[in-house]
Amino acid sequence: VRISNALQQALINDELELYFQPQQQVNDNQPLGVEALLRWHPPGKKPIPPGHFIPIAEETSLICDIGDWVLQQACSRIQRWQSEGHQPGRVSVNISARHFHSANFVSRLALLLQQYPACQHRLTLEVTEGVILDNLQESRTRMAQIKALGVNLSIDDFGTGYSSFAYLRELPVDELKLDRSFIQHIDKRPQDRAIIACLLDLARTLEMSVVAEGVETEPQLATLAELHCPAYQGYLRARPMPEAELLRWLVE
Protein backbone atom coordinates (compact mmCIF):
# COMPACT_ATOMS: atom_id res chain seq x y z
CA VAL A 1 0.00 0.00 0.00
CA ARG A 2 2.77 2.44 0.91
CA ILE A 3 4.66 1.93 -2.30
CA SER A 4 1.51 2.32 -4.36
CA ASN A 5 0.70 5.62 -2.62
CA ALA A 6 4.27 6.76 -3.23
CA LEU A 7 3.92 5.75 -6.86
CA GLN A 8 0.70 7.72 -7.22
CA GLN A 9 2.56 10.74 -5.81
CA ALA A 10 5.46 10.03 -8.18
CA LEU A 11 3.12 10.35 -11.13
CA ILE A 12 1.81 13.68 -9.83
CA ASN A 13 5.29 14.96 -8.89
CA ASP A 14 6.82 14.10 -12.23
CA GLU A 15 9.29 11.52 -10.86
CA LEU A 16 8.75 9.10 -13.73
CA GLU A 17 10.88 9.18 -16.86
CA LEU A 18 10.96 7.26 -20.10
CA TYR A 19 14.25 5.69 -21.14
CA PHE A 20 14.72 4.39 -24.67
CA GLN A 21 16.56 1.29 -25.86
CA PRO A 22 17.46 1.14 -29.57
CA GLN A 23 16.54 -1.75 -31.86
CA GLN A 24 18.80 -2.38 -34.86
CA GLN A 25 18.99 -4.45 -38.02
CA VAL A 26 21.08 -7.58 -37.55
CA ASN A 27 22.85 -7.38 -40.93
CA ASP A 28 24.08 -3.77 -40.83
CA ASN A 29 23.19 -2.36 -37.38
CA GLN A 30 20.94 0.29 -38.91
CA PRO A 31 18.64 1.71 -36.20
CA LEU A 32 15.02 0.62 -36.63
CA GLY A 33 13.29 1.93 -33.56
CA VAL A 34 13.37 2.19 -29.77
CA GLU A 35 11.55 0.54 -26.87
CA ALA A 36 10.32 2.97 -24.20
CA LEU A 37 11.13 1.69 -20.69
CA LEU A 38 9.93 3.40 -17.54
CA ARG A 39 12.18 4.63 -14.73
CA TRP A 40 11.18 6.03 -11.32
CA HIS A 41 13.48 8.59 -9.69
CA PRO A 42 12.29 9.22 -6.11
CA PRO A 43 13.93 12.45 -4.86
CA GLY A 44 17.15 11.73 -2.95
CA LYS A 45 16.97 7.98 -3.62
CA LYS A 46 18.37 5.59 -6.20
CA PRO A 47 16.25 5.12 -9.33
CA ILE A 48 13.81 2.21 -9.05
CA PRO A 49 13.65 -0.19 -12.02
CA PRO A 50 10.20 -1.01 -13.44
CA GLY A 51 10.45 -4.66 -12.38
CA HIS A 52 10.07 -3.37 -8.81
CA PHE A 53 7.04 -1.13 -9.22
CA ILE A 54 5.11 -2.14 -12.36
CA PRO A 55 3.85 -5.38 -10.71
CA ILE A 56 2.58 -3.31 -7.76
CA ALA A 57 0.92 -0.76 -10.05
CA GLU A 58 -0.67 -3.68 -11.94
CA GLU A 59 -2.55 -4.72 -8.79
CA THR A 60 -4.77 -1.66 -9.09
CA SER A 61 -6.02 0.77 -11.70
CA LEU A 62 -2.88 2.81 -11.01
CA ILE A 63 -1.33 0.92 -13.94
CA CYS A 64 -3.91 2.57 -16.22
CA ASP A 65 -2.89 6.06 -15.06
CA ILE A 66 0.78 5.17 -15.44
CA GLY A 67 0.15 3.53 -18.80
CA ASP A 68 -1.76 6.56 -20.08
CA TRP A 69 1.12 8.80 -18.92
CA VAL A 70 3.64 6.57 -20.71
CA LEU A 71 1.62 6.63 -23.94
CA GLN A 72 1.20 10.40 -23.78
CA GLN A 73 4.93 10.89 -23.18
CA ALA A 74 5.89 8.51 -25.98
CA CYS A 75 3.53 10.22 -28.42
CA SER A 76 4.72 13.71 -27.56
CA ARG A 77 8.35 12.56 -28.08
CA ILE A 78 7.49 11.04 -31.47
CA GLN A 79 5.81 14.29 -32.53
CA ARG A 80 8.71 16.43 -31.34
CA TRP A 81 11.43 14.20 -32.81
CA GLN A 82 9.59 14.26 -36.11
CA SER A 83 9.35 18.07 -36.13
CA GLU A 84 13.02 18.44 -35.12
CA GLY A 85 14.23 16.01 -37.80
CA HIS A 86 15.44 13.19 -35.53
CA GLN A 87 15.04 9.69 -36.92
CA PRO A 88 14.66 7.22 -34.07
CA GLY A 89 12.30 5.01 -36.11
CA ARG A 90 9.34 3.35 -34.45
CA VAL A 91 8.68 3.73 -30.73
CA SER A 92 7.43 0.64 -28.85
CA VAL A 93 5.53 0.97 -25.59
CA ASN A 94 4.80 -1.87 -23.13
CA ILE A 95 1.10 -2.20 -22.30
CA SER A 96 -0.12 -4.12 -19.22
CA ALA A 97 -3.18 -6.36 -19.38
CA ARG A 98 -5.36 -4.27 -17.08
CA HIS A 99 -4.59 -1.14 -19.09
CA PHE A 100 -5.13 -2.84 -22.46
CA HIS A 101 -8.51 -4.17 -21.38
CA SER A 102 -9.61 -0.99 -19.57
CA ALA A 103 -12.75 0.82 -20.70
CA ASN A 104 -12.09 3.40 -23.43
CA PHE A 105 -8.50 2.26 -23.99
CA VAL A 106 -8.93 2.52 -27.76
CA SER A 107 -10.77 5.84 -27.71
CA ARG A 108 -8.07 7.37 -25.47
CA LEU A 109 -5.46 6.08 -27.91
CA ALA A 110 -7.44 7.59 -30.79
CA LEU A 111 -7.43 10.97 -29.02
CA LEU A 112 -3.65 10.78 -28.60
CA LEU A 113 -3.22 10.10 -32.30
CA GLN A 114 -5.39 13.11 -33.08
CA GLN A 115 -3.30 15.24 -30.75
CA TYR A 116 0.01 13.83 -32.09
CA PRO A 117 -0.64 12.89 -35.73
CA ALA A 118 3.06 12.07 -36.36
CA CYS A 119 2.48 8.92 -34.27
CA GLN A 120 0.56 7.21 -37.04
CA HIS A 121 2.71 4.28 -38.26
CA ARG A 122 5.41 5.26 -35.75
CA LEU A 123 3.91 3.80 -32.56
CA THR A 124 3.96 0.11 -31.61
CA LEU A 125 2.17 -1.42 -28.63
CA GLU A 126 3.93 -4.38 -27.01
CA VAL A 127 1.64 -6.85 -25.28
CA THR A 128 2.45 -10.28 -23.88
CA GLU A 129 0.60 -13.44 -24.84
CA GLY A 130 -0.98 -13.30 -21.39
CA VAL A 131 -2.61 -9.95 -22.18
CA ILE A 132 -4.23 -11.41 -25.30
CA LEU A 133 -5.25 -14.74 -23.86
CA ASP A 134 -6.78 -13.05 -20.80
CA ASN A 135 -9.69 -12.34 -23.10
CA LEU A 136 -9.17 -13.50 -26.66
CA GLN A 137 -12.54 -12.37 -27.95
CA GLU A 138 -12.11 -8.82 -26.70
CA SER A 139 -8.44 -8.73 -27.69
CA ARG A 140 -9.37 -9.55 -31.27
CA THR A 141 -11.77 -6.60 -31.44
CA ARG A 142 -9.38 -4.21 -29.73
CA MET A 143 -6.42 -5.19 -31.85
CA ALA A 144 -8.39 -4.58 -35.04
CA GLN A 145 -9.43 -1.14 -33.76
CA ILE A 146 -5.84 -0.33 -32.80
CA LYS A 147 -4.57 -1.38 -36.23
CA ALA A 148 -7.24 0.83 -37.83
CA LEU A 149 -5.69 3.80 -36.01
CA GLY A 150 -2.36 3.10 -37.71
CA VAL A 151 -0.74 1.70 -34.57
CA ASN A 152 1.36 -1.48 -34.79
CA LEU A 153 1.12 -4.49 -32.49
CA SER A 154 3.96 -6.59 -31.15
CA ILE A 155 3.97 -9.73 -28.96
CA ASP A 156 6.52 -9.28 -26.16
CA ASP A 157 8.43 -12.16 -24.50
CA PHE A 158 7.28 -14.42 -27.32
CA GLY A 159 7.76 -18.13 -26.77
CA THR A 160 7.67 -18.10 -22.99
CA GLY A 161 3.96 -18.05 -22.30
CA TYR A 162 1.86 -20.63 -24.07
CA SER A 163 2.58 -23.57 -26.29
CA SER A 164 -0.26 -22.94 -28.73
CA PHE A 165 0.36 -20.42 -31.48
CA ALA A 166 -3.14 -20.85 -32.89
CA TYR A 167 -4.20 -17.41 -31.72
CA LEU A 168 -1.61 -15.81 -34.03
CA ARG A 169 -3.61 -16.87 -37.08
CA GLU A 170 -6.54 -14.70 -36.21
CA LEU A 171 -4.89 -11.62 -34.76
CA PRO A 172 -3.39 -8.61 -36.57
CA VAL A 173 0.11 -9.00 -35.09
CA ASP A 174 2.97 -7.15 -36.84
CA GLU A 175 5.95 -8.28 -34.80
CA LEU A 176 7.22 -10.97 -32.45
CA LYS A 177 9.82 -10.17 -29.79
CA LEU A 178 11.82 -13.31 -29.06
CA ASP A 179 12.39 -13.63 -25.34
CA ARG A 180 15.85 -13.09 -23.88
CA SER A 181 15.84 -16.59 -22.34
CA PHE A 182 16.14 -18.13 -25.84
CA ILE A 183 18.88 -15.72 -26.91
CA GLN A 184 21.11 -16.06 -23.83
CA HIS A 185 22.67 -19.41 -24.88
CA ILE A 186 21.85 -19.36 -28.60
CA ASP A 187 25.51 -19.62 -29.63
CA LYS A 188 26.13 -22.61 -27.34
CA ARG A 189 22.93 -24.62 -27.14
CA PRO A 190 21.70 -26.30 -30.33
CA GLN A 191 18.25 -26.65 -28.72
CA ASP A 192 17.85 -22.90 -28.28
CA ARG A 193 19.16 -22.29 -31.79
CA ALA A 194 16.59 -24.74 -33.14
CA ILE A 195 13.77 -23.01 -31.28
CA ILE A 196 14.80 -19.61 -32.62
CA ALA A 197 15.15 -20.98 -36.18
CA CYS A 198 11.67 -22.40 -35.86
CA LEU A 199 10.16 -19.17 -34.51
CA LEU A 200 11.85 -17.18 -37.29
CA ASP A 201 10.34 -19.55 -39.83
CA LEU A 202 6.93 -19.14 -38.24
CA ALA A 203 7.23 -15.35 -38.34
CA ARG A 204 8.29 -15.38 -42.01
CA THR A 205 5.33 -17.56 -42.96
CA LEU A 206 2.91 -15.34 -41.04
CA GLU A 207 4.61 -12.22 -42.50
CA MET A 208 5.52 -10.82 -39.10
CA SER A 209 8.74 -9.04 -38.27
CA VAL A 210 10.99 -10.24 -35.45
CA VAL A 211 13.13 -8.56 -32.81
CA ALA A 212 15.52 -10.72 -30.76
CA GLU A 213 15.76 -9.39 -27.21
CA GLY A 214 18.60 -9.33 -24.73
CA VAL A 215 21.55 -9.65 -27.14
CA GLU A 216 24.66 -9.21 -24.99
CA THR A 217 27.53 -10.80 -26.95
CA GLU A 218 29.00 -10.85 -30.46
CA PRO A 219 28.61 -14.66 -30.77
CA GLN A 220 24.89 -14.30 -29.99
CA LEU A 221 24.54 -11.65 -32.69
CA ALA A 222 26.57 -13.73 -35.19
CA THR A 223 24.25 -16.70 -34.61
CA LEU A 224 21.20 -14.48 -35.19
CA ALA A 225 22.80 -13.31 -38.46
CA GLU A 226 23.33 -16.94 -39.56
CA LEU A 227 19.66 -17.61 -38.86
CA HIS A 228 18.62 -14.47 -40.80
CA CYS A 229 16.94 -12.86 -37.84
CA PRO A 230 16.06 -9.34 -39.04
CA ALA A 231 16.37 -7.22 -35.87
CA TYR A 232 17.75 -7.20 -32.35
CA GLN A 233 18.02 -5.18 -29.16
CA GLY A 234 20.31 -5.62 -26.18
CA TYR A 235 23.13 -4.43 -23.97
CA LEU A 236 25.72 -5.43 -26.63
CA ARG A 237 25.07 -2.21 -28.53
CA ALA A 238 22.83 -0.06 -26.36
CA ARG A 239 21.29 -0.01 -22.92
CA PRO A 240 18.04 1.84 -22.18
CA MET A 241 19.01 5.54 -22.05
CA PRO A 242 17.47 8.97 -21.42
CA GLU A 243 16.21 10.97 -24.39
CA ALA A 244 19.24 13.29 -24.70
CA GLU A 245 21.61 10.32 -24.77
CA LEU A 246 19.47 8.55 -27.36
CA LEU A 247 19.55 11.55 -29.68
CA ARG A 248 23.37 11.60 -29.43
CA TRP A 249 23.56 7.82 -29.93
CA LEU A 250 21.51 8.08 -33.13
CA VAL A 251 23.96 10.45 -34.81
CA GLU A 252 27.15 8.66 -33.69
Residues that contact Mn ion, how many (by CB under 5 A): 3
- Interface with Na ion, residue 175, by CB under 5 A: no
Minimal distance in Å, beta carbon 204 to Na ion? 20
* d(C-alpha 86, C-alpha 78), whole Å: 9
Interface segment toward Na ion; rule CB under 5 A; list 49-57, 105-113, 167-175, 210-218: 210-218
Site for ligand G in 46-65 (CB under 6 A): 49-51, 54
Q: At what angle do helices 105-115 and 62-84 cross, to 10 degrees?
A: 20
| Nearer CB in complex with ligand G: 83/184 | 184
Q: By rule CB under 6 A, what count of residues binds ligand G?
A: 23
Integer distance in angstroms from the first to the last C-alpha of the chain? 44
Q: How far is the CB of 85 from ligand G (least distance, A)?
A: 26
Can you list the positions of beta strands (E) in the chain?
16-25, 31-40, 90-94, 123-128, 152-158, 175-178, 209-212, 231-232
68 touches ligand G (CB under 6 A):
no
The CA-atom distances, in angstroms, between 67 and each of 54, 109, 176, 250 are 10, 11, 21, 26
- 62-84 vs 2-12: helix crossing angle, rounded to 10: 30
Q: How far apart are CA 81 and CA 223, in angstroms?
A: 33
In this structure, are residues 70 and 36 in contact, taking their beta carbons and an 8 Å threshold? yes
Residue 29's region, left for phi above 0, alpha for psi from -120 to 50, else beta, is left
CB of 202 to Mn ion, least distance (A): 19
Q: Does 219 bind ligand G (CB under 6 A)?
A: no
- Check residue 156 for interaction with Na ion (CB under 5 A): yes
Q: Does 126 bind Mn ion (CB under 5 A)?
A: yes
- Among 10, 34, 37, 146, contact with ligand G (rule: CB under 6 A): 37
Q: Is 156 in the site for Mn ion (CB under 5 A)?
A: yes
Report the residue from 21, 23, 24, 94 that binds Mn ion according to the rule CB under 5 A. 94
Distance of closest approach, residue 214 Cβ to Mn ion, in angstroms: 10
If you ran DSSP here, which 8-state letter would residue 117 be given?
A: G
**Spatial separation of the C-alpha atoms in residues 221 and 134, rounded to whole Å:** 34
Beta carbon nearer to Mn ion, 129 or 156: 156
Q: Site residues (CB under 5 A) for Mn ion?
A: 94, 126, 156
Q: Site residues (CB under 5 A) for Na ion?
A: 156-157, 213
Q: Site residues (CB under 6 A) for ligand G?
A: 21, 37-38, 49-51, 54, 67, 70, 94-96, 156-157, 180, 213-216, 233-235, 240
